[in-house]
Amino acid sequence: MRTEYDFTGGVRGKHHRAMQVGYSITIHQEGGTTVTKEVVSPKKSAVIVEPDLRPYFLDSESVNKALRCLIPLLSKRVDV
């Protein structure tokens, strides 16, 4: 990260909830017309880690390790 970047007043995860619901993309073309792409949402298999958990789970490996420890406590497997 460059030293000239200033994130004072920035809010981490500000758009988190909106991104889970999905969003549309509007492309403004040179001729003045616009094209709106349909709602884009995260892939069905995407898992979003809440901001308060991120200090504990910095990468996929740490999340998977923790989840494997929980498997014996589950009552049954959920097939996707």
Who contacts 16 (Cβ-Cβ below 8 Å, separation ≥6)? 48, 51
Residue 20 inside a domain? The answer is: yes
Residue 23 inside a domain? The answer is: yes
Least-confidence region, from 2-11, 16-25, 26-35, 61-70: 16-25
Residue 48 inside a domain? The answer is: yes
Residue 11 inside a domain? The answer is: no
Say if residue 49's pLDDT is above 70.
Answer: yes
Task: Give me the chain's average pLDDT, please.
Answer: 83
Say if residue 3's pLDDT is above 80.
Answer: yes
Residue 66 inside a domain? The answer is: yes
How many percent of the chain have pLDDT more than 70? 96
Residue 1 inside a domain? The answer is: no
Residue 63 inside a domain? The answer is: yes
pLDDT score for 80: 60
> Which has more pLDDT, 13 or 68?
68
Tokens of 22: 């999905």
Give all strands (DSSP E) within 1-80, no chain letters: 23-28, 34-40
Residue 7 inside a domain? The answer is: no
Tell me which residue range forms the domain holding 22. 16-73
Q: How many domains does the chain have?
A: 1
